[in-house]
Amino acid sequence: MSQALFSLLNAAAGILVFFLVLRFVMQLVRANYYNPICQGISKATAPLLAPTARLLPDVGPVSTNTLVITLLVQSVIAWGLAYYFYSAMLSPLMVLLWSALSIVGMILKVIFFALIVMIILSWVAPQANHPGAELVWQITEPVIAPVRRVMPELGGLDLSPIAVFLLIQFIENGALRPMAAAVRMPGQLFFGL
C-alpha cells in the first residue's frame, strides 16, 4: 500500500514540477502568452508563483521567480517523500543540488520531446495552425536556429534537429548523469534524470 501511495504522490509531484519547468521554458523562449496552452499553464502555476513574483524580478528572458520556486517545490517534494516513506533525513544542500540537476534534466527533456513533436508535425501537418503546434515551434526554434545557421543543408533536408538531439544526449549522458551519480542522487525522488 505504501509503495502505491508513494507512486501516486510521486507522479502528482512530477506533473506539478513538469508544469513549472514548462512555464519556465515558455518564459525563456518568450512563447506567445495569448496561446491557450500557455494561458492554461500560467493559470495552473500562478498560485505557486504569485507570492514571490515581486521579490524575484526577471533577468532578461530568465524568470528567476519561476526557477527558484521550481527548485524549492522539487526540493520540498523530494525531501518530504524521502522523510515520509523512507524515514530518511536528507541534507537540504544535497536536496537542492539534486533538484537543480533534475530541473536541468527536465528542461532538456522538454526540448527533446518538443523536437520530436516538431519533426512529426513537419511530416504530417507542416502548415498546422493549432496552438500546440505553435508552442512546439516556439520552444524548438530558438534552439535549432543557431545550429541551422552553421550546418549546411543537404538538398532541402534540415539536419539541425539531429544535431540538437545529439547535443542533448551528450549533455545528459556526458555531464548530467555522471554528476548525478557522483553526488549519489536518488533517482526515484527526482524526475528529470
The backbone region for 73, taken as left when phi is positive above 0, alpha when psi lies in -120 to 50, beta otherwise, is: alpha
Block means of pLDDT (10 residues each) for the chain, 193 residues, are 78 91 95 93 94 88 93 90 75 89 94 93 82 93 92 80 93 93 83 72
Every domain of the chain and the residues it spans? 2-189
Backbone angles phi, psi at 41, to 5 degrees: -65, -40
Task: Output the DSSP codes for 10-34.
Answer: HHHHHHHHHHHHHHHHHHHTT--TT
Q: How far apart are CA 22 and CA 46, in angstroms?
A: 13
pLDDT of residue 10: 81
- Is 72:52 a contact under the CB 8 Å cutoff? no
pLDDT of residue 85: 72
pLDDT of residue 1: 53
Q: The pTM is what?
A: 0.89
Q: How far apart are CA 28 and CA 145, in angstroms?
A: 15
Q: Tens digit of pLDDT for each residue in 105-124?
A: 999 999 999 999 998 988 88
